[in-house]
Amino acid sequence: MSERLQGHDPDVQLARLGARCRSLAPTLYREQALYLQRLRDRLPTAVKTAIQTLLCALPSDQQNDLGEHQLQFQERIDALLKRSSTLITVEQLLVLSARLKREERRLRMQQLQALTERAHERADAPELDDSSSTPSAESVGVELSLDLPLERPDLIEGLLPVDPALMPSEATSRSESHDLAASSSLDPGSEQSELEVLRSLFVMAGDSLEPSTAELDRRPDLEQTEINAVEPLQTNDQLMPATASGLLHWLDCLDVALSRRLRNLSHAINVELMRAGITRSLLPIQLLDAVISGQLPSQSAPSNLLKLTLPLTLMTEEQSLQTICVLVRPADLEFDDHSLRRIRSRLRLQRRELGSWLLKERHWQHRARVREVQTHWWPNQPETPPSR
């Protein structure tokens, strides 16, 4: 009879689910570490193959002009790959994920502060004349405005939409966009008019961006305090969570951080390509994020390359600009490597199993809350109300 009661006890069921999650956690960590190790081994070859594809598309005279700086360019690319490989580990990605979450909270607080300041400015503004401020009977109606009609913007805290893909997560200097756009003049075979159009287009796009995430990848060794700051991903003294929801969140954080790390590497490589004269334009990070999130469609291109057709509104006639750059994505790396696909398949199966455990976890958590309410709120209340 006791075993039957334990089968309906939420605490017992949640403890069993926790034990199963703790037994699965080492396997998840091992599979994720193996996936990242294989990705680090595959990354240099994939990037160099993409750059070679761009070089093959250049005219012969432009290839000859690159001979003087070829060795320096290769050394810079190798240094970027070496630096990025040291940052593509489970621990480093967890640190980056925590940093992204802190930056998301900071951005949300800035938005709320801006709304609060706007509300205070409206409250402190001098009142208008009665003749102009009092609306007539004919003008009273629905007022359309883009401003939020709130006296207290703190009431909508947490309701502001924040897109993490388009969110600035790491700091860099804004002047880099101007320097990189101006460095397109290193390409000797381009026309001056087209360069001016490209320069103005991408500089304006870069000015609208917040600080990007390229400079944090250049920081020195991470402190232990930053590693310990990954509070949402830790349970007690364990590195891995002990719940199904925590493990799924742990996997999602690693995927987001890996995509961000590869995007940073792609942007740094594109900067070097433009400085070397291999490409004549630098796509803003905002466009790279839009492609990664699926908001901007791209054309068919070889693996780890991005080809976009951008409209040029600065021209009198309807013309478009076709640009191509490096964009390393996990999907492209998995497509070219069978080992990565096999590991990703195992991770999907484990994620599917965690999804079924998550449903059970939510069910028993709800049962536990119901029992707690019934125990502590009017525990001796009769089942049927007294008759009048």
pLDDT of residue 119: 83
C-alpha distance from residue 388 to each of 173, 183, 378, 381, 385 (Å): 76, 88, 21, 17, 9
pLDDT of residue 384: 60
236: left (phi over 0), alpha (psi -120 to 50) or beta: left
| Best CA proximity match to 101, nearest among 217, 229, 255 | 229
| 67-73, long-range: CB < 8 A, 24+ apart | 69/276, 73/272, 73/276
Rounded to whole angstroms, the Cα distance separating 40 from 43 reads 5
Residue 223 DSSP SS3: coil
Query: Considering the entire predicted model, what is its pTM?
Result: 0.68
pLDDT in tens, the chain (388 residues): 455 556 688 889 999 999 999 999 999 999 999 999 999 999 999 999 999 999 988 888 777 777 778 889 999 999 999 999 999 999 999 999 999 999 989 999 998 888 888 888 887 775 545 545 555 545 545 555 555 555 444 444 444 444 544 444 444 444 444 444 444 444 444 444 555 545 554 544 444 444 444 444 444 343 343 444 444 444 333 568 999 999 999 999 999 999 999 999 999 999 999 988 888 888 889 989 999 988 888 888 899 999 988 776 655 556 677 889 999 999 999 999 999 999 999 999 999 999 999 999 999 999 999 988 888 888 766 656 555 5
Show Cβ contacts of residue 305 under 8 Å, excluding neighbours closer than 6 positions.
Answer: 50, 53, 54, 324, 325, 326, 327
Burial of 245 (0-12, 13-18, 19+ CB in 10 A): middle
pLDDT of residue 376: 85
- 92-110 in b/e form (b: 16+ CB < 10 A) is bbbbbbbbbbebbeebbee
pLDDT of residue 237: 38
What length does the chain have? 388
pLDDT of residue 318: 60
At 177, which amino acid appears? S
Domain boundaries, the chain: 7-118+217-372
pLDDT of residue 312: 67
Residue 6 DSSP SS3: helix
Show Cβ contacts of residue 272 under 8 Å, excluding neighbours closer than 6 positions.
Answer: 73, 76, 77, 80
Rounded to whole angstroms, the Cα distance separating 240 from 33 reads 13
134: left (phi over 0), alpha (psi -120 to 50) or beta: beta
